Chain A
Amino acid sequence: MNVQFKKGALELCVLVFTLKKDRYGYELVHSISDKIQIAEGTVYPLLRRLTKEGYFATYLAESNEGPPRKYYQLTKAGREYLEQLVQEWQQFSASVNEIIEEGMD
């Protein structure tokens, strides 16, 4: 798949996964790589950027196994950004689908 395209979609997925529940890094990355083929390591730079831009807040919480985990929590700005991305995505994918349907007739 086209790399830039995948990056945009990845950003959307990461934000969606944190909407209902705070997630820790591995959990987040794993839930994506389960469905989409990616180099798992490239998700962390994305998380870092989204955090820097204020869409995520992070905190450490104890875990049952091993050391404390870093959790990602969607901020208010993150929620708004996600809504905007989802809307753009839906418009975009609807248009692409339309084009495909017309073209493949």
Chain B
Amino acid sequence: MYLPFIHILAVSFSGKAAASANLVKLWPIDFTLDAYVTTIANGNFLRSIWVTLQRTVIGTVFGMLVVVFAAYPLSKETSSFKRRNMYIWYFVFTMLFSGGLVPYYILLRNLDMLNTLWVLILPGAVSVWNMILLLNFFRGIPKEMEEASLIDGAGHIRTLIRVYLPISTPALATLSLFTLVGHWNSWFDGLLFMTNHENYPLATYLQTVIVQQDFSKVSVRPEDLENISQRTVKAAQIFIGMAPILLLYPFLQRFFVKGIVLGAVKE
């Protein structure tokens, strides 16, 4: 099952000649780090990593804030917060029906958001799915805790921060991780909304160079072109794109998997 990864890894560490002659199987031939050196020396690649880091950090923090603050009121009983059901349907409807790609694109173009960092953060910030998972989790918290806090004179915001959040850390960690991985992997918004290739996030850059094999959009100097289209360099770029997930995954596995179980916990 993992053979494809091992093969790509072997290619990325192999000499150019052996790789382009398709001699490499599962072990590097003429071991070299050249492909990684070329990749890291590439300004486009580094710039795209910087864009990805920004969107991932800002996007995750912002997205989680929005979702946490929305999930709390929605976790209330209808008896104490009448408008709850109306709001829930307002959000859930967007999961059932959408305006589709073209109106969405035209809207963002008209809002003048193309080529800004915000276009990678704001439109996807409200994850209704995460909101539902979190509100189900909040509902599992004993009501007495909330009542005690409110009777003590704390407002809703303080109750959320002092009472709800501390006992929800496992759920929050899981949802943050999902949001983070989502941002790291997200490539389509970059392709759609960044008309200037310098604003491409890493995943979009990789999509253009590795999958579309279109080098016209990433302005390379002619002398670099040969390097970038090298099979070994492509393999190295794929591997660098996977590296954070491969490295984090074994340690955070329990959080990764909890996400889906989280949704199953309800009365």
Whether both chains belong to one complex is answered with no
